[in-house]
Amino acid sequence: MTVNSIAQFAPRAHTAATRPQQEAAPGPALPQEKYDVVAQSVSLVTPMELTDMAFKLPSPASRIDAVKEVLTVQDAWDMGITGKGVGVAVIDTGVYPHPDLGDRLVAFKDYVNGRDGVDNAYDDNGHGSHCAGLVGGDGSKADGRFKGPAFEASIIGVKVLDGVGGGQMSNVVKGIQWAIKHKDDYNIRVMSLSLGAGSNLKEDDDIVAQAIQAALDADIVPVVAAGNSGPAKFTIGTPGISSAALTVGAYDDKNTADHGDDTMAFFSSRGPTTRDKNVKPDIAAPGVQMVSFRSPGSSIDHADVTKLGAYYVLLSGTSMATPVTAGVVALVRQANPELSARQVMDILKETADPMADTKAILAGHGLVDPAAAVRKALSLKEQKPAA
């Protein structure tokens, strides 16, 4: 399968590094024949003309707390909804046991090197850890800043990509199947997949899209990155092509809380899907210059990316927008555990904040709105007739 995304360290994965990206990318390249799926980030070798479209920061410390200041998540927290008790499977490059997770990394499965178990948890790339923090970091090493939406959720790390961010479709399918099998062990109600590859197949013929459908059928909400192959249309990768996926595009907040200057990120993949012509993405979330976990000794940690102290790094991509959305899904699932996965997905779409003058093939239903989604979930709980 041909990969259509941009790699973190070669022209192929999908997390966007947040430095002037014209420098040569460090680390090993991803040989085309070795990998058929990659992490969804924008690479260090993004063309200059695209790099110039991203906002620049005077210093890393000047980055706003985008999850809290751009989204309505504080209102959800004020309702007592923090993701507590909900399990989120981060299917990615692994998860480093960052201090901001405390004891909430509750399981770790490794399909790359076989180092299973929380005591062996690691991330030799750094991408999966960054995503885990955007789901549920508690900001303890940043004086409470840079929390994920679901900062009391449980994190389940499933490593299916290697140290340079590439992997095999078969391992991604295994990772999804493992999460389904163990959903009751860890109350896995959400999975976050910031990975993908190009697909010329109909979703019914795509093995990863089929696995995503199985997850939804098992009452797990699959949140999937759209990819970073924009601004062209028909660039949604698999498994984001799946109609069973909540496919996420990256929103550019321009480092302000004011939505008036916001746009979709230039790199965010556009729909519709190539073969089925489905409108994708479904929703958007902040995905540019996002602050989250730094994984010591990882490939990203050694790369020329913007770091914020000893514990955080700034990255961009639909990879970052996806776990933010997965964290919001965890809030909704805590707010009303009786809702099905399909109902939860519908709520996020229905309550999203539409983006003016932005086509659905760019932003789907609009910017995710945590407070509105939680309120809707709670209202449905209140309307349920007594037994």
Q: Which residues are catalytic?
A: 92, 127, 319
- What secondary structure letter does DSSP report for 150? T
Q: Is 122 helix (H, G, I), strand (E, B) or coil?
A: coil
Distance from C-alpha of 119 to C-alpha of 210, rounded to nearest angstrom: 32
Other Cβ atoms less than 10 A from the Cβ of 256: the count is 14
Other Cβ atoms less than 10 A from the Cβ of 359: the count is 13
Tokens read off for 78: 């004020």
In the block, tokens 């229905």 appear at 350
CB 134 within 8 A of CB 67: yes
Indicate the angle between helix axes 318-335 and 341-351, nearest 10 degrees.
110
- Beta bridge partners of residue 40, listed in sequence order: 14
Closest CA to 136 of 94, 102, 159: 102
CA-based angle 326:320:21, to the nearest 5? 175
At 139, give phi and psi (nearest 5°): 70, 15
Tokens read off for 258: 């004011």
DSSP class per residue in 336-349: -TTS-HHHHHHHHH
